[in-house]
């Protein structure tokens, strides 16, 4: 059996290939402090691809598409592995959608989307690094401006 940097879980989800410095941000949007089962977080692990990477393992939870879309904004290189009986049964890369609705707020405090109960709507103008443009006020937002 091969060696794992962060120990195995029986069933759940592994978010791998997170840019190391974004690991806790991903943990934050996934709300892992509210999970009931084992959660393991590793940071500054060696990665051929990223140099250093972070990894999050969440027991008993199957990550859903909405969460994957959020992860993609913070960690565009991440891959998600679904684990069952200690084996990877499904693996996919996160993907940034072309339009993001209701996940990220517009950064412009005067934007109409921040006034009425309007759902935010942002066009993805660049995926990696992330760059978004508000559908309503056309304000451009970069990774550092994102409020998720
Ligand atoms: N039972 C398990 N519990 C927790 N983590 C696991 C388990 N099995 C695999 N993993 C982790 O899930 C990720 C994907 O596992 P896999 O065996 O596909 O590794 P890999 O060949 O390095 O894949 P990749 O090409 O995606 O890096 C790795 O980070 C691995 O450590
Ligand atoms: Mg690997
Ligand atoms: Zn706006």
For 69-106, how does the pLDDT look when each residue is reduced to its tens digit (9 = 90+)? 889 988 999 999 999 999 999 999 998 989 999 888 99
For 99-120, how does the pLDDT look when each residue is reduced to its tens digit (9 = 90+)? 999 888 999 999 999 998 789 9
Q: Report DSSP state, residue 117.
A: S
| Beta-bridge partners for 88 | 83
C-beta of 8 in contact with ligand 1 (< 6 A):
yes
- Of 77, 91, 114, 86, give the one whose Cα is nearest residue 12: 86
User: Which domains does the chain show, CATH number per domain?
Assistant: 12-93 (3.30.70.140), 99-145 (2.30.30.20)
Determine contact, residues 18/26, Cβ cutoff 8 Å: yes
Residue 16 CA: nearest ligand 1 atom is 29
- Of 94, 70, 90, give the one whose Cα is nearest residue 17: 94
Q: How far is the CA of 119 from the centre of ligand 2 (A)?
A: 37
Ligand in nearest proximity to the CA of 46: 2
What pLDDT shows up at residue 1? 62
Confirm whether pTM is higher than 0.85.
yes
For 24-39, how does the pLDDT look when each residue is reduced to its tens digit (9 = 90+)? 999 998 989 889 999 9
- Rounded Cα distance between 62 and 52, Å, is 25
């Amino acid at each position: 059996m091969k060696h794992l940097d962060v120990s195995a879980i029986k069933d759940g989800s592994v978010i791998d290939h997170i840019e190391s410095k974004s690991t806790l941000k991903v943990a934050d949007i996934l709300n892992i402090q509210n999970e009931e089962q084992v959660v393991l977080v590793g940071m500054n692990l060696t990665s051929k691809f990223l140099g250093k990477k972070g990894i999050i393992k969440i027991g008993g939870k199957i990550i859903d598409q909405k969460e994957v879309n959020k992860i993609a904004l913070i960690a565009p290189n991440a891959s998600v592995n679904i684990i069952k009986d200690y084996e990877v049964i499904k693996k996919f890369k996160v993907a940034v959608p072309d339009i993001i609705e209701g996940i990220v707020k517009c950064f412009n405090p005067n934007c109409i989307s921040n006034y009425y109960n309007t759902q935010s709507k942002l066009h993805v103008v660049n995926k990696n690094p992330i760059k978004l443009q508000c559908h309503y006020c056309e304000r451009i937002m970069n990774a550092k401006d994102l409020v998720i």
